[in-house]
């Protein structure tokens, strides 16, 4: 290699990092990314490392997990040593298992992490990914998961790609944009070529190559063969190289040219399949002229092009008829691989063909069963393009649109739904397509348009609508909070109420519970244990029930259901249902007092909003993050985040998110001691008459509003608001909301009358499931007791409040409890330092699980880490915690405030 000392040093330093241990190489074709990657691989192998490699190719970009299979093929024998759930998920992803249910993508990703970690237990492992821009999306997701978990592992990762940074690679991975060779090194490389030109021709070649090493080598070869370069104007290096390669191919024998077209159409296929597809039969001699020309390399089981541009040049310069013959020949020999066969037939097909369309739909469904949603969308779209029947095209496109929503690609979903709506379809199909368009409009904060698409004005008020359509309509009405939308939905739901088959269906429970949570909440809560435990729940049903449980304050159940779909530590969770599920899980974790998990689950999604992605999921994520910041010591940041959310969601009539943002701002102002600002924000949760702005979420802010109103002399207005909230809630309050309402009533009661309200709130032990709100009741009860000179009881209540707030990390509220304790005559030190809380959130969770007796492998399965990484975290946590044995962790956790 000529030059590149700085680049090689950068790569070596990045791969030796103890935390990230990875590097990304970016650059134009031919600039030397692959040579740098190869050099890093060779140096690692010489140092005793094991190497697993994969090279993306365009021909397999739509095949689910094709790249991952290529990467792991040398170590797949190790799957038998994986835990059963991981083994089943990985085999299912590769189409090798017996279980017909779709694999859990997170469990499959964990299986890859465990497998590579086990491989690295005997010697360091280097994963090398070349041409990453052509990897299939499923493989990209898993590699992104892996790249974020290299800390503590003896694994390195080097990725090379054209163009911009791959979306799936964490921002912490160091990036090297490989530059062209400097003039002196370009001269040196050219001088090393046989028969390099001299004089003006040499300068012309150097100018044309512009420091691109591949261009220097190939143009020098062309100049030696043809006696110079054509005198053309400036041409992009990539185009120039493709012309050069195409010219070399033109000089080969016809049989070799035909074989090269088949190889270009089949890149990634086994050599045996390519040979079987040759017109002349399986003759390896046909490749000799191409090998001598340096275009291809023949290996034991595969044929590969020396550079991807060679494949592009061969395939792009061949007439369509020749390419079609190649694809048909390959399809004929790929009967044992239906997915590759389907895409080969697709490439050969121009006119509608129901048989090919059917094969592509089968491929799409197999991709869905492997958890590869992006590949599912691609397969369904191409199937629709080749289907001659309008109703079938509509069905395929609408299914693809919904799959795109699940994958988080709302732009693609909107385009596909619009395309489906332009076809001649029946009223039922058109209503479903309009509902999908409405769903996308909701996710992109166009609430009024969304509802009009799903429930058009011309639809009769008593019309029965499909369960899937009504689920979307009620979701829009909830997020918008517009009263007229709920009024339109109620009679439609009533028309379906007598259908016994729907009484306990997740969608029907959602419709009724979401539309009138205080009317139907009690009855639905009674049904939820059986419904949520039913076998065979679809992911959409699990998602719907999880959000319903969040709304009805079945918080732990919500965390469990939503946590099976997304995980706070998995970045790709941000894409599921366009980020709304990750935000829902964050709010459930907030309610449950798991604030570190809530923060972790939405930080990346909130960053998307701040970067300009103003859609529903990121907006709700930023509102959740604002709440975490308000509670945990950065209220100024919380106010900025809340203002950013309100600036977008207010005009969009997304009142559910508006309510979340106002409450976050009110809590932030309370933490700062600015009770006037706190009252202003919290009062915004209600209209001028005191009625809840959002029929559901606004009710949960009434306790905080009353507290701010009392401190700012506006208690009488707060009484009106509380009365309006009671009227909205009626007898339908959950245990959580009863605790909030009793707190508000206590704060507004006279000095002699508040006690019974506080005591009634605290006597219901169910209220402890929402620790922050329970802590607020203990704090204000303690303050009231102190004013009533019941000092001993006050001290006990305030101590309990302080313990809760310390355990949560609610510093401002803990400080307030400490001040009250001092006023009650208790000599209180500042909140004592917690060694456990000084650890990172992830390390805290590992310690707590280890204290419960879980093994490293069991902890890894819960947190999506390898057992080796779990062990590393514990090893590093022991000195901080002052322990030397795992058995001592239980004492550390039990001594933690609030535990």
For the stretch 30-71, pLDDT in tens is 889 999 999 999 999 999 999 999 999 887 888 889 999 999
Q: Which helix (H) or strand (E) holds 614?
A: none
Question: pLDDT exceeding 70 applies to what percent of the chain?
Answer: 94
Question: Residues 444, 448, 452, 454: is their CA dihedral positive or negative?
Answer: positive
Select from 561, 632, 642, 552 the least CA-distant residue to 606.
642
For 802-840, what is each residue's pLDDT tens digit? Answer: 999 998 999 999 999 999 999 999 887 654 446 777 787
Which residue ranges make up each domain of the chain?
5-177, 183-235, 254-416, 841-894
* CA–CA distance, 694 with 707 (Å, rounded to integer): 20
739: DSSP letter: H
* CA–CA distance, 143 with 398 (Å, rounded to integer): 30
Q: Where is pLDDT greater, at 334 or 195?
A: 334
Q: Which helix (H) or strand (E) holds 621?
A: helix 616-631
- Burial string for 770-805 (b: 16+ CB within 10 Å, else e) reads bbbbbbbbbbbbbbbbbeeebeebbbbbbbbbbbbb
What pLDDT band is residue 429 in, cutting at 50, 70 and 90? Answer: confident
Per-residue pLDDT, 526: 94
Residue 451 has pLDDT above 70, yes or no: yes
Compute, in degrees rounded to 10, the torsion defined by CA atoms 376, 381, 385, 389: 80
What pLDDT band is residue 755 in, cutting at 50, 70 and 90? Answer: very high
Q: What is the mean pLDDT of residues 412-424?
A: 90
Taking the domain 841-894, which CATH number applies? Answer: 1.10.10.10
Asked whether the beta carbons of 564 and 586 are under 8 A apart, the reply is no
* CA–CA distance, 568 with 597 (Å, rounded to integer): 6
CA angle 371, 372, 374 (to 5 degrees): 140
Question: pLDDT exceeding 90 applies to what percent of the chain?
Answer: 58
* CA–CA distance, 204 with 182 (Å, rounded to integer): 16
Which of 100-114, 216-230, 415-429, 670-684 is predicted least confidently? 216-230
Q: At what angle do helices 702-711 and 715-729 cross, to 10 degrees?
A: 170
Select from 337, 309, 314, 335 the least CA-distant residue to 326.
314
Structure token pair of residue 8: 């090689």
What pLDDT band is residue 233 in, cutting at 50, 70 and 90? Answer: very low
Per-residue pLDDT, 100: 63
Backbone angles phi, psi at 614, to 5 degrees: -90, 75
* CA–CA distance, 380 with 358 (Å, rounded to integer): 10
Select from 292, 22, 329 the least CA-distant residue to 149.
22
CATH 3.40.50.300 fits 5-177, yes or no: yes
Asked whether the beta carbons of 369 and 363 are under 8 A apart, the reply is no
> How does strand 303-305 pair with strand 296-298?
antiparallel
For 673-697, what is each residue's pLDDT tens digit? Answer: 999 999 999 999 999 999 999 999 9
Identical fold at 5-177 and 841-894?
A: no
Residue labelled with tokens 């596909």 = 416
Per-residue pLDDT, 649: 92
Residue 568 has pLDDT above 80, yes or no: no
* CA–CA distance, 459 with 465 (Å, rounded to integer): 10
* CA–CA distance, 446 with 12 (Å, rounded to integer): 49
Structure token pair of residue 869: 């990484």
Per-residue pLDDT, 492: 84
* CA–CA distance, 800 with 621 (Å, rounded to integer): 31
161: DSSP letter: E
Between the alpha carbon of residue 798 and those of residues 757, 779, 814, 817, the distances in Å are 17, 5, 9, 6
Q: At what angle do helices 467-480 and 506-515 cross, to 10 degrees?
A: 30
Backbone angles phi, psi at 447, to 5 degrees: -70, -45
Per-residue pLDDT, 899: 44
Per-residue pLDDT, 502: 57
Compute, in degrees rounded to 10, the torsion defined by CA atoms 365, 369, 373, 376: -10
* CA–CA distance, 518 with 729 (Å, rounded to integer): 5
* CA–CA distance, 206 with 471 (Å, rounded to integer): 64
Query: Alpha helix (H) ranges present in 650-770?
Result: 655-672, 675-683, 702-711, 715-729, 735-748, 754-763
Between the alpha carbon of residue 855 and those of residues 152, 360, 628, 842, 867, the distances in Å are 17, 44, 31, 16, 8
The pTM assigned to this predicted structure is 0.78
Asked whether the beta carbons of 84 and 55 are under 8 A apart, the reply is no
Q: Which helix (H) or strand (E) holds 50?
A: strand 50-55
Neighbour tally for 224: CB within 10 Å: 14
Neighbour tally for 828: CB within 10 Å: 15
Residue 898 has pLDDT above 60, yes or no: no
- Which residues are 305's β-sheet partners? 296
Q: Which helix (H) or strand (E) holds 228?
A: none
Between the alpha carbon of residue 876 and those of residues 99, 281, 835, 840, 859, the distances in Å are 39, 62, 13, 11, 16
Structure token pair of residue 338: 């239906």
């Amino acid at each position: 290699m000529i030059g590149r000392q700085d680049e090689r040093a950068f790569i070596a330093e990045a791969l030796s990092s103890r935390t990230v241990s990875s590097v990304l190489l970016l650059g134009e074709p031919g600039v030397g990314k692959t040579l740098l990657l190869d050099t890093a691989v060779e140096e690692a192998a010489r140092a005793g490392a094991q190497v697993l490699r994969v090279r993306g190719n365009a021909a397999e970009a739509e095949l689910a997990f094709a790249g991952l299979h290529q990467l792991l093929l040398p170590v797949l024998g190790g799957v038998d040593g994986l835990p059963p759930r991981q083994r089943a998920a990985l085999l299912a992803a590769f189409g090798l298992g017996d279980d017909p249910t779709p694999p859990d993508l997170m469990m499959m990703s964990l299986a890859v992490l465990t497998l590579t970690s086990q491989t690295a237990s005997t010697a360091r492992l280097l994963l090398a990914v070349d041409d990453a821009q052509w990897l299939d999306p499923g493989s990209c997701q898993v590699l992104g998961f892996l790249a974020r978990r290299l800390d503590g592992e003896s694994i390195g990762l080097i990725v090379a790609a054209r163009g911009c940074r791959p979306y799936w690679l964490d921002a912490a991975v160091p990036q090297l944009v490989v530059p062209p060779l400097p003039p002196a090194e370009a001269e040196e490389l050219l001088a090393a070529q046989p028969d390099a030109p001299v004089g003006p021709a040499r300068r012309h070649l150097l100018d044309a190559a512009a420091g691109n090493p591949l261009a220097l080598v190939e143009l020098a070869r062309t100049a030696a063969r043809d006696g110079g370069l054509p005198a053309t104007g400036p041409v992009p290096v990539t185009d120039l190289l493709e012309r050069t390669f195409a010219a070399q191919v033109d000089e080969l024998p016809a049989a070799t040219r035909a074989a090269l077209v088949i190889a270009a159409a089949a890149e990634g296929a086994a050599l045996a399949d390519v040979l079987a597809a040759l017109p002349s039969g399986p003759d390896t001699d046909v490749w000799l002229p191409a090998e001598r020309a340096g275009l291809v390399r023949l290996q034991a089981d595969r044929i590969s092009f020396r550079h991807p541009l060679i494949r592009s040049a061969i395939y792009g310069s061949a007439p369509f008829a020749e390419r079609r013959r190649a694809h048909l020949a390959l399809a004929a020999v790929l009967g044992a691989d239906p997915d590759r066969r389907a895409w080969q037939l697709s490439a050969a097909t121009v006119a509608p063909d129901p048989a090919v369309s059917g094969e592509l739909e089968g491929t799409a469904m197999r991709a869905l069963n492997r958890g590869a949603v992006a590949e599912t969308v691609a397969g369904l779209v191409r199937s629709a393009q080749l289907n001659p029947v309008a109703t079938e095209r509509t069905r395929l496109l609408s299914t693809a649109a919904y799959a795109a929503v699940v994958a988080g690609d709302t732009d693609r979903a909107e385009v596909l739904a619009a395309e489906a709506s332009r076809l001649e379809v029946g009223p039922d199909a058109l209503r479903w397509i309009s509902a999908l368009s409405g769903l996308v409009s909701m996710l992109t904060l166009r609430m009024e348009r969304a509802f009009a698409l799903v429930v058009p004005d011309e639809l009769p008020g008593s019309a029965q609508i499909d369960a899937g359509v009504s689920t979307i309509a009620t979701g829009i009405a909830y997020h918008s909070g517009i009263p007229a939308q709920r009024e339109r939905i109620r009679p439609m739901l009533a028309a379906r109420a007598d259908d016994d088959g729907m009484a306990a269906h997740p969608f029907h429970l959602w419709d009724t519970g979401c539309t009138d949570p205080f009317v139907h909440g009690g009855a639905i809560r009674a049904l939820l244990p059986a419904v949520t435990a039913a076998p065979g729940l679809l992911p959409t049903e699990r998602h719907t029930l999880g959000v319903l449980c969040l709304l009805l304050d079945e918080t732990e159940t919500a965390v469990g259901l939503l946590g099976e779909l997304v995980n706070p530590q998995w970045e790709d969770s941000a894409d599921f249902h366009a980020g709304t599920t990750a935000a829902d899980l964050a709010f459930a974790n907030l309610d449950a007092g798991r604030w570190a998990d809530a923060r972790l689950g939405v930080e990346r999604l909130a960053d998307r909003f701040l970067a300009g992605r103003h859609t529903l999921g990121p907006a709700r994520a930023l509102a959740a993050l604002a709440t975490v910041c308000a509670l945990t010591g950065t209220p100024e940041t919380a106010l900025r985040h809340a203002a950013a959310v309100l600036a977008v969601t207010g005009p969009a009539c997304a009142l559910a998110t508006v309510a979340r943002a106002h409450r976050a701002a009110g809590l932030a102002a309370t933490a700062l001691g600015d009770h006037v600002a706190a009252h202003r924000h919290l009062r915004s949760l209600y209209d001028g008459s005191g009625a809840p702005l959002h029929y559901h979420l606004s009710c949960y802010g009434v306790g905080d509003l009353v507290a701010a109103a009392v401190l700012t002399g506006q208690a009488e207005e707060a009484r009106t608001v509380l009365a309006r909230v009671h009227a909205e809630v009626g007898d339908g309050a959950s245990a959580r909301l009863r605790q909030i309402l009793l707190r508000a009533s206590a704060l507004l009661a006279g000095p002699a009358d508040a006690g019974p309200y506080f005591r009634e709130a605290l006597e219901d032990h169910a209220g402890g499931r929402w620790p922050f709100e329970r802590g607020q009741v203990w704090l204000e009860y303690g303050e009231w007791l102190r004013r009533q000179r019941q000092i001993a009881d006050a001290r006990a209540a305030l101590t309990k409040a302080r313990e809760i707030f310390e355990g949560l990390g609610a510093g401002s509220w803990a400080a307030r409890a400490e001040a009250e304790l001092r006023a009650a005559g208790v000599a209180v030190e500042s909140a004592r330092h917690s060694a456990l809380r000084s650890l990172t959130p992830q390390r805290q969770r590992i310690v707590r699980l280890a204290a419960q007796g879980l093994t490293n492998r069991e902890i890894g399965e819960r947190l999506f880490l390898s057992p080796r990484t779990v062990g590393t975290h514990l090893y590093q946590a022991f000195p901080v915690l002052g322990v030397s044995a795992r058995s001592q962790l239980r004492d550390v956790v039990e001594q933690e405030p609030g535990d």
